[in-house]
Amino acid sequence: MKLLKNTIGALLERNSQIWEAEEAAVFCESNTRWTWGELNQQVNAVAKGFMALGVRKNDHIAIWATNVPEWLLTQLAAARLGAVLVTLNPEWKHSELEYALVQSDANVMVMIPGFQKTVRGKVFDYNYTRIFKELCPSLPCLDKFPELRQVVVTSDETVDGLINWKQFIERGNRISDNALDEAAAQVAPTDTAVIQYTSGTTGFPKGTMLSHYNIVNNALAVSEHMGLDTTDRLCAPVPFYHCFGSILANLGCLVSGATEVVPAAMFNSHRTLEAIQNEHCTVLYGVPTMFISELEEIDFDRFDLHTLRTGIMAGAPVDKELFEAVTQKMGAKQMTIAYGLTEASPVTHQTVVTDPVEKRITSVGRPIEHTEARIVDPITLTTLPPGKVGEIWVKGFHVMQGYYKNPEETAKAIVEDGWLRSGDLGVMDENGFYRIVGRLKEMLIVGGHNVYPAEVEQSLHSLLDDKVEIVQVVAVPHYKLQEVVGLAVKCLPGKTLTLREVQERCEGNLEWSKIPRHLMVLDDFSKAMTVTGKIQKFKLAEMFQEMEQAVIA
């Protein structure tokens, strides 16, 4: 793979000329369809709208929205101008929104009016207009948001003090093509393209600065691993605010010429299956919980998924049974597993279709092109040989520029000669394949023995495969052993499980320190999930502590 030295805007311009009439993006929910030529025109109109608001190179544009067409337009328009896109979690409310707008020095924010989400029959209302107005009754709010000049709402309805989408586009009509071209010509590949907030488990998240060069080439590497080209149609149910959506999907299609298909504004397993069938998708992205939800759809068998070929499963460890179900029942026989972190744009390791099946199931593959990786003892900081568990360190084109306005944390993450500390524990085999065994911060110490959650989860899933669907291991405090294993599971339909059953199956198969001492059976894991479908172990640990009558072996 040859590293590109193109900006995002230059690549869009290229696509509009080479594949002008080819379909670039489809948003199923709103029935929005753009060819590359049309997408380029839409992006130019939005870029001019920003220029009319006074946005210039290096200004910060925040986007607070679900997967709507305006999200993609805002991302590409900001990049064309050399502005920095600040991605906000759509489920953030007052405190998180206030923190991010202040910390990122956002000059303009684009937001949807809001949305509703139903979880187990309960409706959660995210009224963005009300939330923002409660923080800032009228602009400017110099005491609260000293840098924020304007807020654009993706609606044609008039909102007092804010700019609606129609007004925004109309303002841009007075900006000339030459003025836009001059602004775009000033953008360089090394410029910061995005401030992507990490989904921190403690405290507020950190703003990861990634350049055009970082994210364009990461999207290229991942796309080439799957062999994407203009004949592919990529189904992207993953959220845009996360690097999985904004980089691997949005920019993955930009660098490869593939068509992006967005099933819905928020993940919906039924609509995802409909989109694959109706749009003849060849590629599917998702975290494991998304794939599980799709396979569990009550009418799964009625969908024609024969066009599926490849895709990415990432964001959490993938067990053998799920991988086999996706490749066999869904037909994505060339499905890949990827691993990475926001600070690395995000992918650092990925399997390829020519890897042995066993490695495609049990590992996250080898480092992608132009990447160095090693396993390091987190205490002594010495490089460990194959077979030894340690922290994964990486180095290459994708390493972030740093955390925005946070040099102390940047210095902790990027060390000696540009190596990035992942915070993840892994092990490498003799052939260079990596396996993830847990987070460094989540490692359990049971009576002096190191226990790695992902490793235990894989064993427990095999031992309990006739009973459980989801397995999660967390640390539970113990008065004598310091910590013990807490096991949270979701049972298969019609199945039940007791702690005694778990322990009986573990006897003779797992070391004593890895055998669960607590069991929590959940109907679903939604309380502990992020909007991306990741299960947050710290929330599960809190739930164990809240159990009134925990069973202690």
Contact residues for 187 (Cβ-Cβ < 8 A; gap 6+): 7, 9, 57, 79, 80, 81, 82, 212
Using CA atoms, how far residue 128 sits from 110, 114, 133, 134, 492, in Å, is 11, 5, 8, 10, 37
Residue 241: give its domain's CATH number. Answer: 3.40.50.12780
Q: In the prediction, which pLDDT does 121 show? A: 77
Work out the percent of the chain whose per-residue pLDDT is above 70: 97
Q: What is the token pair recorded at 64? A: 């607070």
Q: Judge whether 369 lies within some domain.
A: no
- Based on the domain organization, do 451 and 324 belong to the same domain? no
Residue 120 pLDDT > 70: no
Q: Of the given ranges (49-63, 131-145, 210-224, 447-461), which has the lowest mean pLDDT?
A: 447-461
Would 490 be classed as within a structural domain? Answer: yes
Average pLDDT estimate for 275-286: 98
Domain end marker among 292, 319, 335: 335
pLDDT exceeds cutoff 60 at 336: yes
**234 has a pLDDT exceeding 90:** yes
User: For residue 311, what are the domain limits?
Assistant: 8-335
**551, two tokens:** 């069973």
Q: Does residue 553 surpass a pLDDT of 50? A: no
pLDDT at 450: 82
Instruction: Place 199 in a pLDDT band, splitting at 50, 70 and 90.
Output: low
What mean pLDDT comes out for the span 270-279?
Answer: 98
In a domain? residue 54: yes
Residues 31, 147 share a domain: yes
Would you say residue 406 lies in a domain? no
Residue 63 belongs to a domain: yes
Place of tokens 């009986």: 504
Choosing from 317, 335, 353, the residue where a domain stops is: 335
Please determine, for residue 461, whether its predicted confidence score (pLDDT) is greater than 60: yes
At residue 201 the predicted structure's pLDDT band, cuts being 50, 70 and 90, is very low
Q: Is residue 412 part of a domain?
A: no
In the chain, pLDDT over 90 holds for what percent of residues? 82
Residue 203: the pLDDT is 56
Does residue 397 fall inside a structural domain? no
Q: How many domains does the structure of the chain reveal?
A: 2
Q: What average pLDDT score do residues 38-65 get?
A: 98
| CATH number, position 453 | 3.30.300.30
Task: Tell me what pLDDT residue 449 has.
Answer: 84
Which of 316, 335, 354 lies at the terminal end of a domain, its last residue?
A: 335
In a domain, 120, yes or no: yes
